[in-house]
Amino acid sequence: MINKYFTKVEKPISYEGKDSKNPLAFKYYNKSQKVGNKTMAEHLRFSVAFWHTMLGNGADIFGTGGGFTREWRSASDPMQRSKDTMEANFEFLQKCGVDYWCFHDRDIAPEGETFTESCKNLETMVQVAKKFQKETGVKLLWGTQNCFSNPIYSQGAGSSPNAHVMATAIAQVKNAIDATKELGGENHVFWGGREGYESLINTDLKKETEKMARFFQMAVDYKKKIGFKCQFLIEPKPCEPTKHQYDADAATTLYFLKEYGLIDDFKLNIEANHATLAGSTFEHELAVASLAGKLGSVDANRGDLLLGWDTDQFPTDIYDATMAMLVILKQGGLGTGGLNFDAKVRRGSNDPLDLFYAHIGGMDAFAKGLLVAHQMIQDKVLDKFIDERYSSHNSGIGQQIMSGKVTMEDVDKWVRNEKNPVLQSGRQEMLENIINSYIF
Ligand code: XUL
Ligand code: CO
């Protein structure tokens, strides 16, 4: 086991049960514990986000970082710094007992003077990562491209009005897909940070959305051409950084994929904090994606009710985790997807140990959510109630309407012959109490 940067953690974090007072132990996440027919690790498929955990420095838009101690970022040569960071990444993954990681191309390798040089740096770092993956057994949940930090993308990447910029984004994606393939990634993500617009006074909406579709189609064609079997995922997010994002939420993204004939080639990666920024809830976005058979993976984090931006906090809310796990379990799991902690420690949490506490908290919250959701599904507590709530559609006029056997005139006649409808209670408060009783 690598033991260089996180020496305060001498052995991998282990499960000690809910009464343990050890802050460096899992209270609920017991990797090999069976829940139904899968282990917790198989259900949850946790992943560490390289960009936050390895690169985060606590900086905000006003500047200075949080004074984080990050020894792996100290080398002055950029390639050496990247290599050290990769080593720290795998040490952390092993010690945290997380089986997967995720990265952007520009996270793991420095950008060069030219595009070609950037590609070369990426290829070198992919080989470094490959060696660590082999040594540690840690796998790649997904790779992606950073088509949003470089100033050339400030007016869009795949949807840019500038053809040279669009071409650069396409080329960058090609190389990022190659990197994901080389590392055996199970998915490849597209988050369109710059794919959107500020104002219609300088924007051709039709042209931009057609460009987006073309950009995705080329990625699909390339993936097929090289025989790469991974799942493509789009990660919806509204209004940050662009005012009108083309992939603002699950429903918008599903419509876009259908409209442009891309629906069979993509699923969605739903992020909790993006859902709340879209004025929705995590579980609603998960449910919309799942209903369409398109819930592929999850960026597990949370926002802050008082702050209107993407705070990317670690998920610790058991209720949210339970609601998420209900959707995930009901669709039979995430398949090749997983729960990626797209989350960062707070500015004041400047010690590397805080990275462990953060991940332990997130993993325990979802492990507990998994246990609660599984038990509720076993006991059919919500299902029984919901079935009953819709049962008037199982026969009589309800069944006739839904099976298309009656016309509006028939229904009109039926209603005129009946007394007024009697409503049953939705029992929300009773059900909330039941959920709490499973959590307690
Ligand atoms: C941005 C975000 C990204 C994606 C990958 O809000 O969530 O980090 O997850 O590009
Ligand atoms: Co994300």
Q: 271, 310, 312: which to mutate for ligand 1, most atoms within 8 A of CB?
A: 271
> How much distance in Å is there from the Cα of 419 to the middle of ligand 1?
54
Residue bearing the CA closest to ligand 1, atom 7: 342
Residues with CB under 6 A from ligand 1: 104, 144, 189, 191, 235, 237, 271, 299, 310, 342
Q: What is the dihedral of CA 132, 134, 136, 140, to 10 degrees?
A: 80
Looking at the domain assignment, is residue 4 inside a domain?
no
DSSP annotation of 60 reads B
332 lies in the same domain as 426? no
Q: How far is the CA of 239 from the centre of ligand 2 (A)?
A: 14
Evaluate the CA torsion angle 381, 29, 273, 293 in order and state its sign: negative
User: How many Å lie between the centroid of ligand 2 and the Cα of residue 312?
Assistant: 8
User: Are residues 433 and 295 both part of a single domain?
Assistant: no
Residue 197: name the closest of 154, 148, 149 by CA. 154
Is 160 inside any structural domain?
yes
Question: Which CATH number fits the domain that encloses residue 236?
Answer: 3.20.20.150
Q: Ligand nearest 142 Cα, by number?
A: 1
- Return the CA Rg of the chain: 24
HSE-up of 75 (CA within 13 Å, CB side)?
12
Any domain includes 55: yes
For residue 271, report the distance from its CA to the centre of ligand 2, in Å: 6
Residue of 104, 282, 299, 341 to mutate, ligand 1, most atoms within 8 A of C-beta:
299
Q: Is the same domain home to 364 and 405? A: no
Which DSSP string do the residues of 179-203 spell out, in sequence order? Answer: HHHHTT-SEEEE--TT-EES-GGG-
Establish if 420 belongs to a structural domain.
Answer: yes
Which ligand lies nearest the alpha carbon of 189?
A: 1
Whose tokens are 């080593």? That residue is 87
Please tell me the distance between residue 249's alpha carbon and the centre of ligand 1 in angstroms. 14
Residue nearest to atom 5 of ligand 1 (CA): 191
Instruction: Specify the residue with its C-alpha closest to ligand 1, atom 3.
Output: 191
Residue-level pLDDT at 239: 92
**Distance from the alpha carbon of residue 211 to the mean position of ligand 2, in angstroms:** 23
Nearest atom of ligand 1 to the alpha carbon of 299: 9
Instruction: End-to-end CA distance of the chain: give it in Å, rounded.
Output: 37
Answer yes or no: is 221 within a domain: yes
Q: Are residues 400 and 373 in the same domain?
A: no
Q: Do both 77 and 151 map to the same domain? A: yes
Mutate which of 144, 173, 190 to test ligand 1's pocket (most atoms within 8 Å of Cβ)?
144
Kindly identify the ligand whose nearest atom is closest to the C-alpha of 102. 1
> Which tokens belong to 215?
């950009």
Atom of ligand 1 minimally distant from the CA of 104: 10
**Are residues 422 and 324 located together in one domain of the fold?**
no
Residue nearest to atom 8 of ligand 1 (CA): 342
Q: List beta partners, residue 188.
A: 143, 232
In a domain, 147, yes or no: yes
pLDDT at 65: 82
User: CA–CA separation, 47 vs 281, rounded Å?
Assistant: 22
Kindly state whether residues 68 and 136 are assigned to the same domain: yes
Q: Is there a single domain that holds both residue 305 and residue 429?
A: no
The answer to whether 215 touches 179, Cβ cutoff 8 Å, is no
pTM for the whole thing? 0.97
Closest atom of ligand 1 to 271 CA is 7
Q: Which ligand is nearest to the CA of 104?
A: 1
Q: Within 68-195, where are the H helices?
A: 78-96, 105-108, 115-136, 163-182
**Catalytic positions:** 104, 107
Nearest ligand, measured from the Cα of 143: 1
**What is the atom index within ligand 1 of the atom nearest the CA of 340?**
9
In angstroms, what is the span from residue 96 Cα to ligand 1's centroid? 22
Classify the C-alpha dihedral 36-39-41-42 as positive or negative: negative
The number of domains in the chain is 2
User: Does a structural domain hold residue 2?
Assistant: no
Query: If you measure from the C-alpha of residue 144 to the centroid of ligand 1, how many angstroms do you get, rounded to a whole number?
Result: 9
Query: How does pLDDT run along the chain (440 residues), one tens digit per residue?
Result: 999 999 999 999 999 999 999 999 999 999 999 999 999 999 999 999 999 999 999 998 888 788 999 999 999 999 999 999 999 999 999 999 999 999 999 999 999 999 999 999 999 999 999 999 999 999 999 999 999 999 999 999 999 999 999 999 999 999 999 999 999 999 999 999 999 999 999 999 999 999 999 999 999 999 999 999 999 999 999 999 999 999 999 999 999 999 999 999 999 999 999 999 999 999 999 999 999 999 999 999 999 999 989 999 999 999 999 999 999 999 999 999 999 999 999 999 999 999 999 999 999 999 999 999 999 999 999 999 999 999 999 999 999 999 999 999 999 999 999 999 999 999 999 999 999 999 99
Q: Whose CA is nearest to atom 10 of ligand 1?
A: 191
**Does residue 73 sit in the same domain as residue 115?**
yes
* Domain range enclosing 197: 14-379
Identify which of 195, 311, 342, 344 to mutate to test ligand 1's pocket (most ligand atoms within 8 A of the CB).
342
